[in-house]
Amino acid sequence: MKLRQSPCAKLDTIPIFDRLISMPQLPDVPLDGLYGDLVMDHYRNPRNHASISDADVEAEEFNPFCGDRATLQLKLDGQGRVSEIGARADGCSIIQAATSMLCDQLHGKSLDEVAEIGERFRHAMKNGAGDDDLELGDLLALQVVRQYPVRIKCALLPLTALEEGIKAYRARPG
Amino acid sequence: MTTVFDVNKVRDDFPILKQWVNGYPLVYLDNGATSQKPQSVIDAIVNYYTTTNSNVHRGVHTLSQQATDSYEGARAKVRQFINAGDDREIIFTRNTTEGINLVAHSYGRQNVGPGDDIIVSNMEHHSNIVPWQMLCEEKGANLRVVPIDDTGELLMDEYEKMLGPRTKLVSITHVSNALGTILPVAEIVEMAHAHGAPVLFDGAQAVPHMPVDMKELDCEFYVFSGHKLFGPTGIGVLYGKAEYLEAMPPFLGGGEMIKSVTFEKTIYNDLPYKFEGGTPDIAGAIGLGAAIDYVNDLGFDWITSHEEELLRYGTEALSSIEGLKIIGTAAHKSSIISFVMDKAHPHDIGTILDEQGIAVRTGHHCAQPVMQRFRIPATARASMAFYNTKEDIDALVKGIDQVLEVFS
Ligand SMILES: Cc1ncc(COP(=O)(O)O)c(C=O)c1O
């Protein structure tokens, strides 16, 4: 089958991807169709899958169009850094992989840093990743989803949950 | 005698079906969402705007008269198509959703009070749930839901038990968009009438596939959308028994629906105009009339036998795929096959099929309660029309092989 080629494949030979030519080449990230190895790996072996009991930050987000769901939990240590993560998603491979990839980037980060990663990820999904986005790590594999616009909301669902969770945490008195 | 049509000739009438999508010939199996339009419908709309465009019921000039004749001609075609008794019983709406909301606002507000019941089924489209929920909330009435069994069949015993003196309306789908079940509409009406309750049928998924007959069915209201019946978007139909429509207050106030207006008092127009406030979708109605002509030329004898064969062939082919489960296995089904796979989520199925030019719907099909009933978040749904072929189903099966390849 011809799944759409990754943007790292010979761009100049694939006119349909003209609009993606401005994307930087990120040679360390294997992008291989929508269902590339990295996406499938996170889908099949989701990281931080166990739920945690006394989370500080907690949020659940639904996609009203398909009923998919992402649930995120963060526990913070004495310095306010992420020490434990619980991440679960019910839904398609993209939402499950995105949930796993996103949470994988958060260990040891302060909530400000977490929010910054989130912003960077959202920006990269909307406008394409830049040279300075390498810290997004495995999340860069989701750049391929940009070729499937209807699926972008699947990739961003866990981020929306995370943002809501942080907002609620910060709004809490004390 | 049934005329047998060559489906490939029929397909020639639908220009969009000649398209290639993602490098493959389009295999359109999303007719439950909306159907494709034959050239005759497209031509009718173009002709109207090219030669006749004018407002209806407003002017003495020639074009206005022609536009009015064409618009009213379309109403007569709809009346014949569903065998209603009178053109006044045919109200043009935007779609099924608007038809149901019209009845909820107009009939519902007038007749439903605290403690009354409105009965729907567990397999309704959201458009036949939410308007009633809103009404029940406003009036303190109860929304009662008839359960279904594991095949997607309505539990008629439960339905009968729910009926009573408090039942103000039974509003149930004729064909389930998520499962394909064809409901026993005659019995539903008979039981409701035995308790003096009027019945509304959501015919959105029925009229493209089977003949419906208002005189025989004897329901009080019947609604459907033009766009699922090979007509344009933006036009739909509410059938209502004249005695009911006469007694109901108008829905939208404005032009077209009045006889005379002073600041002291407005006299409403007669049926059907009382319910058609504002300039209607004239081109849409004319397009719908052309779609009905097209369907009548093919005839439901051929349409239903062709679609039954597609359903049989498709059900057999998909059932033999390991790890695939068909949701909705009622004995009496329309040409809809909803399915889930144990290895792949419906979204992923949809994307991989789309890569091969195959259009199916994935998601909850605006029928979340039925998904909850089967404890699934979503399904992939292939919904066939008379222009689909066994080759389309073969392509679907091949497409699903690719899903298995990626996800096994
Ligand atoms: C059974 C059923 N009812 C109602 C609707 C709503 O139709 P529309 O969006 O045209 O109002 C649909 C369409 O999806 C349907 O399948």
In eight-state DSSP terms, residue B305 is H
Average predicted confidence (pLDDT) for chain A: 81
B397 in reach of chain A (CB within 8 A): no
Q: Which of B92, B224, B225 gets mutated to test ligand 1 (max ligand atoms within 8 A of its CB)?
A: B225
**Binding site membership of B269 for ligand 1 (Cβ less than 6 Å):** no
- Tokens 């940009």 sit on residue: A146
**Token pair of B207 as six digits:** 């009229």
- Which residue has its alpha carbon closest to ligand 1 atom 15? B204
What are the structure tokens assigned to A86, written together? 């619980």
Instruction: Label each residue of A64-78 as H, E or C.
Output: CCCCCEEEEEEEECC
The answer to whether A31 and A23 have CB atoms below 8 angstroms apart is no
B235 Cβ inside 6 Å of ligand 1 = no
Residue A16 has a pLDDT of 34
Note whether A16 contacts B: Cβ–Cβ < 8 A: no
Cβ-based neighbour number of residue B76 at 10 Å: 12
The reply to whether B366 belongs to the active site is yes
The reply to whether omega before A15 is within 30° of 0 (cis) is no
A154 contacts B344? CB cut-off 8 A:
no
The minimum CA-CA distance between A153 and chain B, rounded to whole Å, is 12
Weakest-pLDDT range from A146-155, B75-84, B217-226? A146-155
At A93, which amino acid appears?
A: S
Band of pLDDT at residue B1, cut at 50, 70 and 90: low
Q: What residue spans define the domains of chain B? A: 7-30+299-407, 42-296
Q: How many CB pairs under 8 A join A and B?
A: 54
Q: What is the mean pLDDT of residues A77-91?
A: 94
Average pLDDT of the segment spanning A1-24? 36
Contact call for B347 and A34, based on CB within 8 A: no
Nearest-by-CA chain B residue for A5: B355
Domain B42-296, CATH 3.40.640.10 — does that match?
Answer: yes
Which of B216, B215, B251, B2 lies closest to B103 in space, CA to CA?
Answer: B251
Q: Tell me if B225 CB under 6 Å of ligand 1.
A: yes
| Confidence band, pLDDT 50/70/90 cuts, at residue A64 | confident
For range A13-27, the mean pLDDT: 36
**Whether the CB of B383 sits within 6 Å of ligand 1:** no
Alpha-carbon span B202 to B225, nearest angstrom:
10
Closest residue on chain B to A40 (Cα): B407
CA distances from B294 to A129, B26, B318 (A): 51, 22, 31
Bridge partners of B212?
none
Residue range B107-165, pLDDT digits in tens: 999 999 999 999 999 999 999 999 999 999 999 999 999 999 999 999 999 999 999 99
Report d(CA B154, CA B174) in Å as an integer. Answer: 11
Q: Is B292 helix (H, G, I), strand (E, B) or coil?
A: helix
pLDDT over 90 at A7, yes or no = no
**What tokens does B202 get?**
């959501």
Contact B198, B192 (CB under 8 A): yes
Distance in Å from the first CA to the final CA of chain B: 49
Q: Which fold has domain A33-171?
A: Sufe protein. Chain: A (3.90.1010)
pLDDT tens readout for residues B327-350: 999 999 999 999 999 999 999 999
Tell me what the mean pLDDT of segment B301-324 comes to: 97
* ipTM score: 0.75
Q: Is B23 exposed, middle or buried (0-12, 13-18, 19+ CB in 10 A)?
A: exposed
Strand, helix or coil for residue B136:
helix
**Is the shortest distance between the CB of B121 and ligand 1 below 6 Å?**
no
Highest mean pLDDT among A61-65, A161-165, B305-309: B305-309
pLDDT band at B186 (very low <50, low <70, confident <90, very high): very high
Kindly determine whether residue B355 and residue A151, on different chains, have CB atoms separated by under 8 Å: no
What is the number of the ligand 1 atom nearest to the C-alpha of B228? 10
Please choose from B174, B201, B366 the residue to mutate so as to test ligand 1's pocket, defined by most ligand atoms within 8 A of CB: B366
The rounded Å distance from CA B232 to ligand 1 centre is: 14
Element (H, E) at B359: strand B358-359
Contacts of residue A66 in chain B, CB cutoff 8 Å? 346-347, 362-364, 377-378
Domain boundaries B7-30+299-407, corresponding CATH code: 3.90.1150.10
